[in-house]
């Protein structure tokens, strides 16, 4: 076997995945009915595992639909008289926080993406002495447990009288979003030929002009990836909202968590609330799934 | 990344086919210097909010500051006394046990599950996109939403316990409220340094399942990207040489997926260490701190003991950095070689 010669060679670009090297074999269709018993087994396993993954989703939805009539006898049964009552209750309790989440997420995502794009552009097209080391130092910021900075952050916001406010949360999300957006954009810009930057320089454009006139218009896919990543992240945040926000500024995740009472839990209302909180990110994921996945894989701590 | 589900984007598959153009840029000293100045504010802000703030937290952990509103910045005597105080606590010891058990079982479930899912989904002929979408769906959710759903599934009186009762198990576990420790290694008496039973708390299992459900799709996505980057020539050559499925898996596929495994390991490990929201939504500290984790410990002491909260935060930070720093340095070295 030729396995010994198959060491990965990271420095050298891999040949693009070729689906059909020869011209004899017709291009395989993207899907086809399994032709072998093994193929059927693979399909069966995938189907069963996928159904298993969907059980919690099913449970959330059916419990939310069971409404005031109470949950069905068996937790996997569909409610006898499905109703949307629980959603009304959940909406009354959550709509303010959902609006807060939106007001936090949009500006924080937009600003952190803009900063990340500028930084990524500088780091990938104008590397200066020590820029890689500084970048690595910057990246540590996206892995730290935020508990290790939460007391100074709290005191800092207090000093600026932003403690508890929406603005305070936005500022914090922007600052701690910089490393990740810088990473995503730096990797994105490394795929854009430097000849473009060179050409702009020859035409007399400086760093800023090249960025605004040449790079930004080419950055739409980068913004979609980083934007989805940041929106999902900030929308789903719990820790900062839980510790830094006053009740009036609570994001939806915090209010949802508070629906879990100390003694009794109205599960149908809680699940309806969970649906409301999950809906925006799930819709984003289902509509722009391709970009969502590139957010996971395209950014690279190589 | 907040402590929510979101993970930092992971490395691209090891052998990237993307062209790199960086080296061709001609730039003079003047433009580089300008670039450095434009980058400086972001770097400075990040530096203050990460490194300076961590420094402040370290100082607080060594000080006498207890209540937030009345700062006492004198150093505690003896030096580091707060650390000495907390490591003797039953709660601290339970937290360390819990986070270790949580991390180990969670990593095994998520990484193995993700690998197996990716291998099957990579080879399925129908509905590949659908399967992939469903597996990654939980990743888009907040840990709070996941926690709420799994709290219900593992509620003592409903959920899986209904199934267990119907197959004849009269006294199913109380799950997140259960204080049983499986495979207990010791039986601590009051005088020992070790005040908790070492073993696997039953109460942690539902939380581990929930976390694995949420993040198995992430591992799957990493492995699918890795599988797509294995050149088909390798597999063809192996088939020509007469390798069977198992040999191809063991000798080609798994070694080629090693970088994906490292990525999953590091990124999921740091999520596990920081786990907070999911536990808050599913159980909180639990009876006898059976589901307590460092994140909750820190949160609870933010109102009464700044020094203790800070000391625990620094311990959590060191655990995280022990994993992340070697990983980042490895990335930095590769970058320099490239």
Per-residue pLDDT, B130 = 92
Per-residue pLDDT, A22 = 40
pLDDT in tens, B230-248: 888 888 888 888 888 888 8
Least confident of A4-18, B40-54, B175-189: A4-18
Mean pLDDT confidence for A256-271 = 82
CA of B11: which chain A residue's CA is closest?
A300
Question: Does the pLDDT value for residue B2 go beyond 50?
Answer: no
Q: A13-17, A40-44, B12-16, B161-165: which has the highest mean pLDDT? A: A40-44
Give which of A108, A94, A141, A118 is closest to A231, Cα–Cα: A108
Question: Does the pLDDT value for residue B212 go beyond 90?
Answer: yes
Per-residue pLDDT, B51 = 96
Per-residue pLDDT, A281 = 95
Question: Does the pLDDT value for residue B8 go beyond 80?
Answer: no
Rounded CA gap, B90 and B138, in Å? 34
Q: Select the more confidently predicted residue: A282 or B10.
A: A282
pLDDT band at B136 (very low <50, low <70, confident <90, very high): very high
pLDDT in tens, B148-202: 999 989 988 778 888 888 888 888 888 888 888 888 888 887 777 888 889 999 9
The three-state secondary structure class of A44 is helix
Q: Nearest C-alpha of chain B: how many angstroms from A178?
A: 7
Per-residue pLDDT, A1 = 32
Per-residue pLDDT, B161 = 85
Q: Indicate the helix (H) or strand (E) that contains B133.
A: helix B128-136
Give which of B163, B156, B203, B153 is closest to B182, Cα–Cα: B203
**B-contacting residues in A 221-260 (Cβ below 8 Å):** 229, 232-240, 242-243, 253, 256-257, 260
Asked if B252's CB is within 8 angstroms of A3's CB, the reply is: yes
Asked if B153's CB is within 8 angstroms of A75's CB, the reply is: yes
Asked if A179's CB is within 8 angstroms of B57's CB, the reply is: no
B264-293 in b/e burial notation, b at 16+ Cβ within 10 A?
bbbbbbbbbbbbbbbbbbbbbbbebbbbbb
pLDDT in tens, B249-279: 888 899 999 989 998 999 899 899 999 999 9
Question: Does the pLDDT value for residue B18 go beyond 50?
Answer: no
Q: Is A299 left (phi over 0), alpha (psi -120 to 50) or beta?
A: beta
Per-residue pLDDT, B26 = 52
Least confident of A105-114, B15-24, B63-72, B121-130: B15-24
Per-residue pLDDT, B48 = 95
Contact A242, B11 (CB under 8 A): no
Per-residue pLDDT, B79 = 92
Per-residue pLDDT, A3 = 32
Per-residue pLDDT, A33 = 84
This prediction has a pTM of 0.87
CA of B223: which chain A residue's CA is closest?
A297
Give which of A96, A44, A19 is closest to B125, Cα–Cα: A44
CA atoms within 13 A on the CB side of B120: 21
Q: Select the more confidently predicted residue: B152 or B10.
A: B152
Q: Nearest C-alpha of chain B: how many angstroms from A293?
A: 7
Percent of chain B with pLDDT over 90: 54
CA of B325: which chain A residue's CA is closest?
A140
Taken in order B178, B182, B187, B192, is the CA torsion positive or negative?
negative
- A48 close contact with B: CB closer than 8 A: no
Per-residue pLDDT, A24 = 44
Give which of B333, B243, B120 is closest to A6, Cα–Cα: B243
CA of A282: which chain B residue's CA is closest?
B140
CA A227 remoteness from chain centre: 8
Per-residue pLDDT, A4 = 32
Rounded CA gap, B95 and B103, in Å? 12
pLDDT in tens, A57-78: 999 999 888 876 555 567 777 8
Q: What is the ipTM of this complex?
A: 0.86
pLDDT band at A11 (very low <50, low <70, confident <90, very high): very low
pLDDT band at B13 (very low <50, low <70, confident <90, very high): very low
Per-residue pLDDT, B281 = 94
Rounded CA gap, B25 and A123, in Å? 12
**What average pLDDT is seen over chain B?**
87
Percent of chain A with pLDDT over 90: 58
pLDDT band at B22 (very low <50, low <70, confident <90, very high): very low
**What average pLDDT is seen over chain A?**
84
Question: Does the pLDDT value for residue A298 go beyond 70?
Answer: no
């Amino acid at each position: 076997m030729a396995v010994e010669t198959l060491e990965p060679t990271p420095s050298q670009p891999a040949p693009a995945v070729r689906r059909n090297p020869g011209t004899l074999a017709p291009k395989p269709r993207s899907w086809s009915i399994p032709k072998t018993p093994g193929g059927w087994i693979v399909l069966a396993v995938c189907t069963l595992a996928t159904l298993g993954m969907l059980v919690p989703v099913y449970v959330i939805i059916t419990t939310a639909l069971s409404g005031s009539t109470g949950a069905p006898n068996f937790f996997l049964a569909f409610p006898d008289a499905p109703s949307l009552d629980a959603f009304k209750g959940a909406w009354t309790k959550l709509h303010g926080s959902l609006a807060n989440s939106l007001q936090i997420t949009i500006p924080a995502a937009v600003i952190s993406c803009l900063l990340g794009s500028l930084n990524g552009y500088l780091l990938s097209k104008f590397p200066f002495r020590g820029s890689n080391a500084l970048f690595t130092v910057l990246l540590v910021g996206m892995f730290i447990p935020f508990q290790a900075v939460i007391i100074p952050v709290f005191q800092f916001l207090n000093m600026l009288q932003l403690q508890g406010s929406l603005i305070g949360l936005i500022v914090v999300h922007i600052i701690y979003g910089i490393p990740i957006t810088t990473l995503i954009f730096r990797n994105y810009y490394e795929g854009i030929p430097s000849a473009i930057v060179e050409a702009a320089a020859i035409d007399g454009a400086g760093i800023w002009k090249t960025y605004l006139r040449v790079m930004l218009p080419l950055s739409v896919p980068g913004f979609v990836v980083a934007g989805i990543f940041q929106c999902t992240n900030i929308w789903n945040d719990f820790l900062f909202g839980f510790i830094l926000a006053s009740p009036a500024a609570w994001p939806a995740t915090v209010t949802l968590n508070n629906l879990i009472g100390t003694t009794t839990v109205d599960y149908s209302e809680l699940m309806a609330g969970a649906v409301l909180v999950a809906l925006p990110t799930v819709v984003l994921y289902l509509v722009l799934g391709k970009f969502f996945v590139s957010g996971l894989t395209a950014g690279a701590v190589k | 990344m907040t402590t929510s589900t979101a993970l930092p984007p992971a490395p691209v598959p090891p052998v990237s086919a993307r062209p790199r153009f960086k080296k061709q840029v001609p730039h003079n000293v003047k433009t580089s210097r300008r670039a450095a100045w434009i980058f400086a504010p972001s770097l400075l802000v990040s530096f203050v909010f990460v490194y300076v703030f961590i420094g402040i937290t370290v100082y607080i952990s060594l000080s006498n500051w207890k209540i937030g509103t009345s700062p006492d910045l004198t150093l505690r005597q003896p030096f580091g006394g707060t650390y000495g105080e907390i490591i003797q606590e039953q709660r601290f010891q339970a937290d360390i046990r819990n986070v270790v058990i949580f991390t180990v079982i969670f990593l095994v479930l998520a990484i193995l599950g993700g690998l197996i899912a990716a291998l099957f989904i990579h080879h399925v002929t129908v509905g590949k996109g659908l399967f992939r979408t469903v597996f990654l769906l939980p990743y888009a959710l907040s840990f709070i939403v996941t926690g709420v759903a799994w709290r219900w599934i593992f509620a003592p009186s409903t959920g899986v316990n209904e199934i267990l009762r119907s197959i004849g198990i009269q006294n199913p576990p109380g799950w997140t409220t259960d204080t049983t420790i499986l495979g207990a290694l010791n039986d601590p008496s009051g005088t020992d340094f070790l005040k908790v039973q070492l073993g696997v708390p039953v109460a942690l299992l539902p939380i581990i399942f929930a976390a694995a459900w949420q993040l198995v799709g992430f591992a799957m996505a990493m492995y699918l990207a890795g599988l797509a980057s294995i050149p088909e020539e390798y597999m063809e050559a192996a088939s020509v040489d007469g390798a069977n499925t198992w040999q191809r898996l063991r000798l080609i596929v798994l070694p080629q997926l090693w970088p994906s495994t490292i990525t999953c390991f590091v990124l999921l490990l740091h999520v596990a260490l920081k786990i907070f929201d999911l536990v808050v939504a599913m159980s909180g500290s639990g009876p006898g701190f059976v589901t307590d984790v460092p994140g909750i410990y820190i949160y609870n002491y933010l109102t009464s003991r700044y020094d203790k909260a800070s000391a625990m935060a620094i311990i959590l930070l060191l655990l995280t950095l022990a994993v992340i720093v070697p990983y980042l340095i490895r990335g930095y070295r590769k970058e320099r070689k490239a």
